[in-house]
Amino acid sequence: MFNGTAVSHFLLLQFSEVRELQFLHITVFLMLYLAIVTGNLLIISSVALDHHLHTPMYFFLLNLAVQDFGQVSIILPKSMINSLLNTRYISYAGCVAQVFCLMFFLTSDLSVLTVMAYDRYVAICNPLQYEMVINRKACIEIMAGVWIACFLYAGMYTIGTFTNHFCSNIVNQFFCEITQLEILSCSDVNIIEKATLGIGVFLGLGCFVYIIVTYLYIFTAVLRLPSAKGRQKAFSTCIPHLIVCSTFMFTGCIAHLKTTSRSFSWLDMIFAMLYSLVPPMLNPVIYSMRNKEIQKAMSKILSFRYFSRKILSLDCIASQYPFQSANIILYSGGFIMI
């Protein structure tokens, strides 16, 4: 038995004690992590480097990609390191940091999705007022408010969680999931935890209802557009965003509202992966697959890297043939010597 002062570390879920299966877990998680990180970094770099994408919609998309990048970076690396070292250990401070960061990124993710819904509502339903309502100053103020509010909420929730006394330090999950820590508590829910939980439920349901109502207005306005091309463009922008919101909300609600068992459950792990890993993986795919502007910006970045490698290889060859460097010319993306 443990109490709040005696717990110095936690033991996370070990997928298998078989070494070969542990390496399989590392490989799968590493591929998943690299795919998510690469996709979100491409979106971040595309929006940051392409001045054509310096608009409110892509500014919010950049913030969403930053949050998705941070969300997976606090979960997957620790799990892979534990499997590599054949351990289950995470320090008390590390678990606190995981809970704080995860709650911060999850709440800010939902907040940004809500802001993006409002952005699409103003752009489609009130296009003449868009530049006045959603301007550069407003975007910065909105995102600053989101980051500050989510930071404070995550801090309150983390304090409320770890002021409880724990009867065990065995977490049946591959990261310090909040629901798993709650069932380890052997003390009554404190006032801070009750308050933050109530605020979270109220704001979460409020954001989801707001998103649904907003898109009802958006779809009503879109159907009234006389141009079929305009309707198609509006739907191609809004439907992916609605898919992301629905995936995030439904998986998160199911994971936190269903009954969590004290013993290991594959169902608990599947739902945890759905709400923590699937949205960050889907966001780059959904927002880049149907978005021509993002695709163009990504192709520019990739082609620039390809051209840079060609120039580098040309410089290396020129250094090897100093007397003939003047006779090396570019031809069709490559080089020939004359």
Q: What is the pLDDT of residues 25-62, one digit of tens each?
A: 899 999 999 999 998 998 898 888 888 888 888 899 89
Q: What is the mean pLDDT of residues 89-95?
A: 92
pLDDT of residue 70: 92
Among 145-149, 323-327, 328-332, which is the least confidently predicted range?
Answer: 328-332
Q: What is the mean pLDDT of residues 217-233?
A: 77
Most confident of 86-95, 179-188, 310-319, 324-333: 86-95
Q: What is the mean pLDDT of the chain?
A: 79
Contact 3, 166 (CB under 8 A): yes
pLDDT of residue 161: 85
Query: What one-character DSSP code corresponds to residue 188?
Result: P
Query: pLDDT-derived band of residue 321, with 50, 70 and 90 as boundaries?
Result: very low
Among 58-62, 104-108, 172-176, 239-243, which is the least confidently predicted range?
Answer: 239-243
Contact 169, 9 (CB under 8 A): yes
Query: pLDDT-derived band of residue 4, with 50, 70 and 90 as boundaries?
Result: very low
Looking at residue 280, its amino acid is P
Query: What one-character DSSP code corresponds to residue 97?
Result: H
pLDDT of residue 255: 65
Query: pLDDT-derived band of residue 256, with 50, 70 and 90 as boundaries?
Result: low
Task: Name the residue with higher pLDDT: 314 or 23.
Answer: 23
Query: pLDDT-derived band of residue 277, with 50, 70 and 90 as boundaries?
Result: confident
How many residues are there in the chain? 338
17: its two tokens: 């004690």
Q: What is the mean pLDDT of residues 7-34?
A: 88
Contact 173, 184 (CB under 8 A): no
- Write the CB contacts of 165 (distance below 8 Å, at least 6 apart in sequence): 2, 3, 4, 185, 186, 187
Distance between CA atoms of residues 158 and 103, nearest Å = 8
User: pLDDT tens across 126-150, in order?
Assistant: 888 888 888 889 999 999 999 999 9
* DSSP string of 1-68, one letter each residue: ---TTT--EEE---S-SSHHHHHHHHHHHHHHHHHHHHHHHHHHHHHHH-GGG-SHHHHHHHHHHHHH
pLDDT of residue 262: 61
pLDDT of residue 334: 41
Query: pLDDT-derived band of residue 336, with 50, 70 and 90 as boundaries?
Result: very low
Query: pLDDT-derived band of residue 309, with 50, 70 and 90 as boundaries?
Result: low
Q: Of the candidates 52, 106, 155, which has an alpha carbon nearest to the alpha carbon of residue 253?
A: 106
Burial grade of 297 (CB within 10 A; 0-12, 13-18, 19 or more): buried
Backbone angles phi, psi at 191, to 5 degrees: -65, -40
pLDDT of residue 190: 63
Q: Is the pLDDT of residue 337 over 60?
A: no
Domains in the chain, start-ordered, CATH in brackets?
9-290 (1.20.1070.10), 295-338 (no CATH)
Q: What is the mean pLDDT of residues 112-139?
A: 89
pLDDT of residue 99: 93
Among 35-49, 84-98, 170-184, 234-248, which is the least confidently predicted range?
Answer: 234-248
pLDDT of residue 6: 65
Distance between CA atoms of residues 204 and 212, nearest Å = 13
- Write the CB contacts of 16 (distance below 8 Å, at least 6 apart in sequence): 22, 25
pLDDT of residue 151: 95
Q: Is the pLDDT of residue 276 over 80?
A: yes
Q: Of the candidates 246, 242, 236, 247, which has an alpha carbon nearest to the alpha carbon of residue 281?
A: 247
Contact 269, 171 (CB under 8 A): no
